[in-house]
A and B are shown apart, each in its own frame.
Chain A
Amino acid sequence: MNLEDEIAGKLCEKFPFMTDKIYVQKEKRIFTKPLSRDEFEKTIRYVHDELGFYRACHVVGTDDGDSIGLLYILSNKDSILLILRESVPKTNTEVTSISDIYPSIVLHERELVDLFGVMVKGLPDGPRYPLPDGWPDGNYPMRKEWNPKNFNKETMTYQQPQETEAQKNG
């Protein structure tokens, strides 16, 4: 059995919900399907404490239409990447910060806050990243609906696009 299957097996053994959610994409890449908040929090502590995934390389935010997808990329000493997914609706984007377990994730989580409008609970105090201080509230540039053409750089204001007659009538 290779290392990737062994790790996936251990996770399935510990958490039965993983059985139909975990898959080995290729060598050194283990992905999960979106986990619920509770499942995610349990898993991330376990993989850090017990499975030796000592480094959080990154968290990628994706705009999936009505929801925001989060991919937490973790790495172990064998350089295997475990990608844990979470998905939050755009109407309630609250997630828990994992910076208490992985301090190396802070900048990436701040980026989720600024660019995707994800509410990350438990982030340590510090300067915002990467948008400037005067950036208008409610503007999340990496969301698909945010169009840079509607943003006025001089006044730092975002003009909501007018709905055309054709769009109104469907």
Chain B
Amino acid sequence: MVESDNFGDNRIAVPIGPQHPSLDEPGCFDITLEGEKVVDAVIGVGYNHRGLEKVCESKTYIQDLYIIERVCGICSHAHSTAFCMGIEELSGLTIPPRAAYIRVIVAELERLHSHLLWLGVACHEIGFDTMFMFTWRNREKVLDILAVLGGNRVNYGVNTIGGVRRDLDETLTSQILKTMEMLEEEIKYYVELAHTESTLISRLAGVGKLSKEDVIHYGAVGPVARAAGIEDDIRVKEPYGAYKEIPVHMITDTNADVYGRTVVRILEMQESINIIRYCLKNIPDGAISVKAPRKIPAGEVIIRVEAPRGEDIHFIRSNGTDIPDRVRVRAPTEANWHGMKHMLEGGYLADVPITIAAIDPCYSCTDRAIQLRSEKDTRVLDWKELRQYGINFYKKQGIDISTLSAGR
């Protein structure tokens, strides 16, 4: 905490970040306080910028697909769907109906795991760690399905130009339906909790307000906009792929605060379950991809898809070769940052972490691409080694847990 001379006696400047325990990724929030109230906030992002768009201009379309999927660890499918749709439109490809349905199923599974993740993080931020444990346990079940389908927990690699790479079989379909049944029960409980749990409501209501007029003014998207009563869902407003045939009920709320955003996300999970069930019931048989040309005819395209965090826009310009001329990704978080200053101002310092978390910020999305690579000392631990590592770690802290868990 820094006491600043510039603000007189009762103003204090608190820099939060770029590295801070309450932030999951690097971002810089210079908060000015008057007592406990936030009177000014300067937001600095850009710490994850890795020049993804520049890389895309030197690789082929199919190589770019790999990079685009890694724009974000959570909404990876939304980005790759937008990119594939753009190229398919430029080259005049129509993907098989089965592929379109599989894309929607994966997109909704992604929305489920993203919202469950968010709900856990949000509850953790307000000290409700039991709920955090519950939601993350549920999220694992969704990730299990995605891992079976795509071979990976977050970057599933399901999309390809001209369709999808993985098909659903009967075993997986029944696993999905079984998981949906379990999740439906759990989410019913969360809905009840959100409407009746007085601690949760009083902790979130009125925090991080962004009214309908402010949402319009600052151009917020996704659950942040829908929580303020704005009907903004690309799946409904500009249906793409199989969403043209699938009934989607748009969830909105009028609270316009963190509580509203929580309710919207919980109800959206119920809607995602309905969509997945509809897809599994009505999925057509047939091929899952068509052959795509290597060279894409010259043109420009702007594609919008509804990522879990909101509207995701991709601009692609092709020049007739197998390498794009320009790829531009406008991720939803990039749109939601503008209203953040307004949401923080007037609130309390203790509400800053949950207000930031409530837009479900993805710093990598904003800056596009993060590189996580260790040059040295990388090795895989087996279960026994990992256990031993844990025991040694705690021994150093003066706690010997080796006798407690000997039988496990």
Contacts and interface: CB of A to CB of B under 8 A. Distances in A.
Interface of A: 28-29, 31, 54-58, 60-63, 71, 73, 78-79, 81, 83, 102-108, 126-132, 141-142, 144, 148
Interface stretch (B101-109, B329-337, B378-386): B329-337
Interface in B71-92: none
Give 10 nearest A-B pairs by CB, closest first: A104-B219, A130-B46, A79-B237, A130-B49, A127-B44, A58-B330, A60-B328, A104-B338, A55-B219, A60-B315
A19 B207 CA distance: 48
B302 A83 contact: yes
B219 A73 contact: no
B313 interface: yes
B238 interface: yes
Contact of A127 (B28, B237, B328): B28
Contact of A79 (B43, B49, B234, B338): B234
B238 A104 contact: no
A54 B216 contact: yes
Given A29-B302, A54-B216, A106-B338, 17 more contacts: A55-B216, A58-B330, A60-B326, A61-B328, A73-B302, A79-B234, A81-B302, A103-B219, A104-B220, A107-B45, A126-B42, A127-B44, A130-B46, A130-B367, A131-B49, A141-B51, A142-B53
Given A28-B238, A56-B219, A79-B238, A129 B45 contact: yes
Given A79-B234, A127-B28, A104 B46 contact: no
A129 B27 CA distance: 12
Contacts, number: 79
Contacts of B43: 127
A73 B338 CA distance: 16
18 contacts: A56-B219, A57-B311, A58-B315, A62-B317, A62-B326, A71-B315, A78-B237, A79-B234, A81-B302, A104-B338, A107-B45, A127-B44, A127-B46, A130-B45, A130-B49, A130-B367, A131-B46, A131-B49
A107 B218 CA distance: 12
B51 A107 contact: no
Nearest to B48: A130
B49 A107 contact: no
A28 B234 CA distance: 12
B136 to A, nearest CB: 31
Of A58, A104, A129, A131, most B-chain CB atoms within 10 Å = A104
A73 B301 CA distance: 12
Q: Specify which of A60, A71, A127 lies most central, judged by the most chain B CB atoms within 10 Å of its CB.
A: A60
A141 B300 CA distance: 22
A87 to B, nearest CB: 14
Contacts of B238: 28, 79
Q: Which of B51, B57, B220, B366 has the most CB of A within 10 A?
A: B51
Interface in B278-330: 300, 302, 304, 311, 313, 315, 317, 325-326, 328, 330
Given A62-B326, A73-B313, A141-B54, A57 B219 contact: yes
A28 to B, nearest CB: 6
Contacts of A103: 217-219, 338
Nearest to A151: B51
A54 B187 CA distance: 35
Nearest to B237: A79
A90 B53 CA distance: 20
A132 B46 CA distance: 8
A126 B44 CA distance: 8
Nearest to B28: A127
Contacts of B45: 107, 129-130
Contacts of B311: 57
A60 B329 CA distance: 9
A60 B216 CA distance: 21
Contacts of B216: 54-55
A67 B262 CA distance: 46
A158 to B, nearest CB: 14
A106 B330 CA distance: 13
Contacts of B28: 127
Nearest to A125: B42
B302 A129 contact: no
Contacts of B54: 141-142, 148
Nearest to A63: B326
B94 to A, nearest CB: 15
A106 B219 CA distance: 11
B337 A58 contact: no
Contacts of B51: 141, 148
A114 to B, nearest CB: 9
